[in-house]
Amino acid sequence: METRAPPAPAHNDRTTSIHEIEKQKAIDEWLPITSSRNAKWWYSAFHNVTAMVGAGVLGLPYAMSELGWGPGVTILVLSWIITLYTLWQMVEMHEMVPGKRFDRYHELGQYAFGEKLGLYIVVPQQLIVEVGVNIIYMVTGGRSLQKFHTSVCPSCKNIKLTYFIMIFASVHFVLSHLPNFNSISGVSLAAAVMSLSYSTVAWAASVHKGVQENVEYGYKSSSKAGTIFDFFAALGTVSFAYAGHNVVLEIQATIPSTPEKPSKGPMWRGVVVAYIVVALCYFPVALIGYWMFGNAVDDNILITLEKPAWLIAMANMFVVIHVIGSYQIYAMAVFDMIETVFVKKLNFKPSWILRFVIRNVYVALTMFIAITFPFFGGLMDFFGGFAFAPTTYFLPCIIWLRIYKPRRFGLSWWINWICIVLGLCLMILSPIGGLRTIIIQAKTYKFYS
């Protein structure tokens, strides 16, 4: 007669599941986004300013010269309104399921589109934005250091841009080992103050110079095709200026939350303050810079403002400090993704060695790409359309429509569809202009010069 083994006691399963829960909790406490949830609302304000106001603000007068007065002002104001609206949606959706928090953009995507599809839709776009921004900031940091050097010492020997990018990267080999979002809040605050400072220098120095003689506001390009392509590229510049959405859920994840006091209250307060600062940086620089110099303005307004040398040197140093903070905010979200894969999927043990290797390799990689392709502005107009427009302008609207299902042809339905259509236009048109810029710049480019 066959004897069967008695069923295993049920408490073994319970012990296993408790052990699993504790293991997951330990991992969450180690990962950079979820390890520390005691941020105040003002952390959200300066993290958002640092993430949003990139050195892209200095390119806005040039974008205005390619767009012209009417379209330029309209696109700037519309972008500000649309992105504030989509940011509000993301803050609202962070805790729409009771007892759960969507700490990362892709978790929200997975909830809306399903486990696999959500990852495929969100992660590639988010990575293009975050890694792309980090590479651009490597180039921007290096260029600003180079400009600082030539302003302070015009008679000194010229040093290659490559070396300045390496100097800028060396800071990140140190800062990248700060464990989580809250630990970089000091760096982020300094960066937010700097963004206001160099924006103010840019427009105040423009006012001081006054409207230039023979100023022209017509389009620069002599051909109709050139004008259209420039217009498309400028759309990419504007969409690049509003890229903060890619880290907004990650920033909100650091704020404490209870059913009585959800995190969306303090987060939204921080966002509103951040957007007022964004307006104070963007609009004066774009409008005054274009008004004073017309279509003769450079793609970085600080180049046009060569004098007084000490002021421009100082502004370039402000840019360097600012992009150090911005780099860290976007890199932190990338570190979180990579470390999650290693620890949860590949079952590595959470350790400082793992973190040390991952972060150093990432900084080295972004530095290498920046040194190899320093004409990254054109690349960004190109990628800007592909990835920035969706994640910022219309992906939140699609998720909102999918989850909340507002009444067809109601106000919410219309607003979301208008944002989706405008965002799609941006996504299709700006890469065309960016591609042309890359082709023109690549003709005269020598590697590692």
**Domain holding 208: CATH number?**
1.20.1740.10
Lowest mean pLDDT segment, chosen from 27-41, 66-80, 357-371: 27-41
CB 92 within 8 A of CB 264: yes
Give residue-wise pLDDT tens across range 187-198.
888 988 888 888
CB 60 within 8 A of CB 208: no
Give residue 331's pLDDT band: very low, low, confident or very high (50, 70, 90). Answer: very high
Nearest Cα to 387, choosing from 233, 250, 236?
Answer: 236
List Cβ neighbours of 421 (8 Å cut-off, separation of 6 or more). Answer: none
Domain membership flag for residue 169: yes
Distance CA(66)–CA(230), nearest Å, equals: 6
Helix 224-241 vs helix 60-67: crossing angle, to nearest 10: 140
Check residue 245 and report its DSSP letter.
G
Q: What is the mean pLDDT of residues 293-322?
A: 82
Write down the pLDDT at residue 439.
78
Lowest mean pLDDT segment, chosen from 9-23, 32-46, 127-141, 364-378: 9-23
Task: Report the percent of the chain where pLDDT is more than 70.
Answer: 92
Q: What is the mean pLDDT of residues 368-385?
A: 73
Residues in the chain: 449
**Placement of tokens 């929200």 in the chain:** 108
Domain membership flag for residue 107: yes
Give residue-wise pLDDT tens across range 74-116.
999 988 998 899 999 999 998 888 888 888 888 889 999 988 9
Q: Residue 15 above 70 pLDDT?
A: no
Query: Using CB atoms within 10 A of its CB, is residue 158 exposed (0-12), middle (13-18) or buried (19+)?
Result: exposed
List Cβ neighbours of 66 (8 Å cut-off, separation of 6 or more). Answer: 219, 220, 230, 231, 233, 234
Distance CA(158)–CA(444), nearest Å, equals: 20
Give residue-wise pLDDT tens across range 222-236.
788 888 888 888 887
Domain membership flag for residue 327: yes
* Dihedral, CA of residue 168, residue 171, residue 176 and residue 180, to nearest 10: -110
Domain membership flag for residue 50: no
What is the total count of domains within the chain? 1
Mean pLDDT of the residues in the chain:
84
**Placement of tokens 């080295």 in the chain:** 364
pTM recorded for the entire structure: 0.85
Write down the pLDDT at residue 55.
67
Distance CA(164)–CA(157), nearest Å, equals: 14
Domain membership flag for residue 353: yes
Give residue-wise pLDDT tens across range 161-188.
899 999 999 999 999 888 887 788 888 8
CB 231 within 8 A of CB 433: yes
Q: Work out the number of other CB atoms within 10 angstroms of the CB of residue 72.
A: 22
Distance CA(356)–CA(324), nearest Å, equals: 19
Query: Using CB atoms within 10 A of its CB, is residue 417 exposed (0-12), middle (13-18) or buried (19+)?
Result: middle
Give residue-wise pLDDT tens across range 341-357.
998 888 888 888 999 99
Q: Residue 133 above 80 pLDDT?
A: yes
DSSP alpha helix (H) spans, 341-410: 352-372, 376-383, 389, 395-404
- CA contacts within 13 A on the Cβ side of 33: 24
Distance CA(284)–CA(248), nearest Å, equals: 25
Domain membership flag for residue 65: yes
Give residue 247's pLDDT band: very low, low, confident or very high (50, 70, 90). Answer: confident
Residue 191: domain span: 56-443
Distances (CA, A) of 391 to 105, 147, 266, 378, 384: 9, 33, 23, 20, 10
Torsion over CA: 85, 91, 94, 97 (sign): negative
Domain membership flag for residue 159: yes
Give residue 300's pLDDT band: very low, low, confident or very high (50, 70, 90). Answer: confident
Distances (CA, A) of 448 to 136, 164, 293, 369, 436: 16, 12, 32, 11, 22
Q: Residue 417 above 80 pLDDT?
A: yes
Cis preceding-peptide flag for 98 (omega within 30 of 0) = no
**Placement of tokens 């900084």 in the chain:** 363
Q: What is the mean pLDDT of residues 286-304?
A: 83
- CA contacts within 13 A on the Cβ side of 57: 31
Check residue 40 and report its DSSP letter.
-
Write down the pLDDT at residue 257.
84
Domain membership flag for residue 15: no
Gyration radius of the chain over CA positions: 23
List Cβ neighbours of 392 (8 Å cut-off, separation of 6 or more). Answer: 83, 86, 239, 242, 243, 244, 245, 246, 423
Q: What is the mean pLDDT of residues 369-376?
A: 78
Q: How far is CA 268 from the centre of its chain?
A: 18
